[in-house]
A and B are shown apart, each in its own frame.
Chain A
Amino acid sequence: EPEVTQTPSHQVTQMGQEVILRCVPISNHLYFYWYRQILGQKVEFLVSFYNNEISEKSEIFDDQFSVERPDGSNFTLKIRSTKLEDSAMYFCATRQANTEAFFGQGTRLTVV
């Protein structure tokens, strides 16, 4: 069964450093999303991406965040200057038109 793949599974980074989280969508999926889950809290929407541009973003998705599809396959989330409060589980989700989204297994980001 096809699945959304996220790498790395766990990333530890120093505060102030840049991190890039990667997602490989299911091959015929065209809509991409990033969600965040701080430990013990609910899953929150960050951004949606379609046709090489952001469709919608939340208040959380400020200037330190960016997304792109650099090579037409990987979908990445970049956090420019990490803060302690960025520590969370980050989920990528992808979908075809008019279907539910499929979630990756998540990347656990720990900022120290």
Chain B
Amino acid sequence: AQTVTQSQPEMSVQEAETVTLSCTYDTSENNYYLFWYKQPPSRQMILVIRQEAYKQQNATENRFSVNFQKAAKSFSLKISDSQLGDTAMYFCAFASGTYKYIFGTGTRLKVLA
């Protein structure tokens, strides 16, 4: 069975600084997808970034980028130039071909002014 582990329950970062959120996963599959979702206080799930396992190049979306290490089964999220609006819960998620999502327990990120 697949598992997703986020070992940082809470993190804080100063505005304009860079922060990295960690995520590891376990799977025996070779083709899969990884995601980072942002959940603000409204509790809506907002897709931040996705990565296909077959792609070696790390995904980037503006200030958000990932460090995908397939052999190590690691998928960290880097947020550059942190903004107050980035304050939220961040969930790492895994999906295989059926796209059933397995979520981690989340990291609560607080951006400090």
Tell me if chain B binds chain A.
yes
Bound CA–CA A37/B103 (angstroms): 11
> What interface size band does chain B fall in?
20 to 34
A-B contact count (CB 8 A): 51
Q: B106, A42: Cβ atoms under 8 Å? A: yes
Q: Which residues of B contact A55 (CB under 8 A)?
A: 98
Q: B35, A100: Cβ atoms under 8 Å? A: yes
Q: Which residues of B contact A106 (CB under 8 A)?
A: 43-45
* Secondary structure class of chain A's binding surface, majority of residues: strand
Bound CA–CA A93/B46 (angstroms): 12
Instruction: Give me 18 other A-B pairs in contact (C-beta within 8 A), A56-B98, A103-B45, A105-B42 excluded.
Output: A33-B100, A41-B105, A42-B91, A42-B103, A42-B105, A43-B45, A45-B102, A48-B100, A91-B45, A100-B33, A100-B50, A100-B95, A100-B99, A101-B99, A103-B37, A103-B44, A106-B44, A108-B43
A residues contacting B by CB (< 8 A) are 31, 33, 35, 37, 41-45, 48, 55-56, 89, 91, 93, 95, 100-103, 105-106, 108
B residues contacting A by CB (< 8 A) are 33, 35, 37, 42-45, 47, 50, 91, 93, 95, 98-106
